[in-house]
A = this chain, B = another copy of it.
Amino acid sequence: MDVNLRQIRAFLAVVGLGGFTRAASALNISQPALTIRIRQLEDQIGLKLFDRNTRSVQLTRVGQELLPVFQRLMRDFDSAMADIREFSEEPRGTIRVAVLPSFAAGPLPALIADFRTRNPRVSFVLKDAVGKRVLAMVRNDEVDFGIGVGGVDEPDLDTIEVCEDRLVLVYPQGHAAGDLPQATVPVISQFPLVLMDKDTSVRRLVDEAFAAAGSIATPACEATYMSTAVSMVRAGLGLAILPASAIEIRGFTDIATRPIDDVGFVRRIVIIKRRGSSLLPAVEEFTKALLAAVTGCRPASGGCLDLQVENGGAKALAMGIQGQ
């Protein structure tokens, strides 16, 4: 038994309009085509649905009994299709993102809040993770995409540049580091340093930048969390090197930051996606919105995340900070 939706639609049209000719024109087919469709349906189910002659078309008892069945079937089908259509037209679903803690605590909340006012049926699951964990979660399909540090070159992952995030020197207000004419690796190395844990992308970057400058980063203290590192700086244990975007260094009057005058003290923030993996439309929308929001502070325009220029992206960033 191979009943078509078109056959069912034809049946309902004939019932609704009370005749083959009218129903056929409503369905935009010729009357003979409709006659055949109805006959096919009747043949398939082995039951006569209409008693018809040239003057009248009437449901049989069987037709009467089956009418509500077919009606419900078509209603269900059409509403399911409407749901599916909304899927592509109005983003919805759950977006799962793996994010570096600094980004998760920084600009992301404001971006999400903004996105959700425009797409209320989208929900988010944020997993903050350091360095390689972001990659792993993307690869294992635990998340739809990741926001991590650039420089990955895995064959199964695609990256999209988002922005740059400078590493800055964090020092106590009034510290000698603030008065130096230049903050370079050799100069910095002379102070005790509070560095991040070896597992973090920040530390990897610091190590690489020191190595590039012919030096080795030697920590006086190590911290896993940036807030801990900041506390150490405030306690006078040393100078920290942290992302300029890090929310943890804001809001304190007793510490200051300054850029580091060596190449390499910058990390590229990228969106990381599995190659050849289709995402929810909502995810596409969101990454688009994310990129648009940071337009003003993307590498091409020389900006980076800690810039507070006047544009949507920077505003979103500011909101994120306030929101925290």
Chain A residues near B (Cβ < 8 Å): 1, 3-5, 45-48, 51, 53, 58, 60-62, 65-66, 69-70, 72-73, 76-77, 80-81, 83-85, 87-88, 93, 144, 276-281, 283
Are B62 and A73 in contact (CB-based, < 8 A)? no
Q: Closest approach, in angstroms, between the C-beta of A283 and any C-beta of chain B?
A: 7
Chain copies in the assembly? Answer: 2
Q: Which of B3, B53, B77, B281 contacts A47 (CB 8 A)?
A: B281
Are B81 and A3 in contact (CB-based, < 8 A)? yes
Q: CA separation between A69 and B85, bound complex, in Å?
A: 12
Q: Closest approach, in angstroms, between the C-beta of A276 and any C-beta of chain B?
A: 6
Q: Closest approach, in angstroms, between the C-beta of A5 and any C-beta of chain B?
A: 6
Residue of B whose beta carbon sits closest to that of A275 = B51
Are B277 and A84 in contact (CB-based, < 8 A)? no
Are B1 and A45 in contact (CB-based, < 8 A)? no
30 contacts between A and B (CB under 8 A): A1-B85, A3-B81, A5-B5, A45-B81, A45-B87, A47-B84, A47-B87, A47-B88, A48-B278, A51-B277, A58-B277, A60-B277, A60-B278, A60-B279, A61-B144, A61-B278, A61-B279, A61-B280, A62-B278, A62-B280, A65-B280, A66-B84, A69-B80, A69-B83, A69-B84, A72-B80, A73-B76, A73-B77, A73-B80, A76-B76
Residues of B within 8 A of A144 (CB): 61
Residue of B whose beta carbon sits closest to that of A283 = B61
Are A87 and B73 in contact (CB-based, < 8 A)? no
Q: Closest approach, in angstroms, between the C-beta of A279 and any C-beta of chain B?
A: 6
